[in-house]
Amino acid sequence: MSIEKNIVAIGGGGFGRITKEKKIERYILSLSNKDKPNICFIPTATGDNDAYKVNYYDVFTKFNCNPTHIDFFKRTMDLSSHISKQDIVFVGGGNTKSMLAVWRDWGLDNILQEAYNSGVVMSGVSAGAICWFEKGITDSWADDLAVMECMGFVDGICCPHYDEEPERRPFVKKVLENNTIDHCLGVEGNCALHMKDGVPFKAINFGSNKNSYMVTHTEGDVLEKSFERIDI
């Protein structure tokens, strides 16, 4: 029996902004197929921001699950042991480049790869959305957006906040036209792209008519093809 692999890449929103809705959080928990799943929050991209962790526990303690988190800027637990006990990992937003540098130094990237291969649900928002892909479009640098190498659990180039930040669409258009990239998975705010077994499965709309797109460049035109969508 093959192991189903799931990644939920959120373009923006969720408990980092609003704690009362809980729609996408409920969807992610459902993917574990466990009555009381273990979920681990990794807020490295914000430097382990305390308020972010408060929001996380405020939301997930209201579900039938076992929420924990990992700190890197205080004393750090045994990462391999802790991740091996999880059903779901949720990665917060922030600075992707700094986050991945910390993870790689600690070996967490390899630990997460093993967990993903064993069927642990991977999820996250913004930095926590793009990190799973081959490449992502990030604002980790102050002066401009950039295309950066990520962990490569799945193929593709992911851009979160596709409709939320006015510079995102023009940047994607530019890097498509100059052949820096050949496609982009654009994920709007209050929407997630659910990757199943390494390929796009559905867009998950938890806002107001939000979507995710396969963005390509053909014969001088930038084309956006929306994915089949689930409204939750």
3-class secondary structure for the chain? CCCCCEEEEECCCCCCCCCCCCHHHHHHHHCCCCCCCEEEEECHHHCCCHHHHHHHHHHHCCCCCEEEECCCCCCCCCHHHHHHCCCEEEECCCCHHHHHHHHHHHCHHHHHHHHHHCCCEEEEECHHHHCCEEEEEECCCCCCCEEEECCCCEEEEEECCCCCCCCHHHHHHHHHHCCCCCCEEEECCCEEEEEECCEEEEEEECCCCCCEEEEEEECCEEEEEECCEEEC
Rg, Å, the chain Cα set: 17
From 32, 69, 161, 194, the catalytic residue: 161
From 32, 123, 126, 212, the catalytic residue: 126
Rounded (10°) angle between helices 96-106 and 108-117: 90
126 catalytic, yes or no? yes
Q: Nearest Cα to 220, choosing from 180, 179, 185?
A: 179
Both tokens of 143, joined, read 């002066």
217 catalytic, yes or no? no
Residues annotated as catalytic (active site), given as ranges: 126, 161
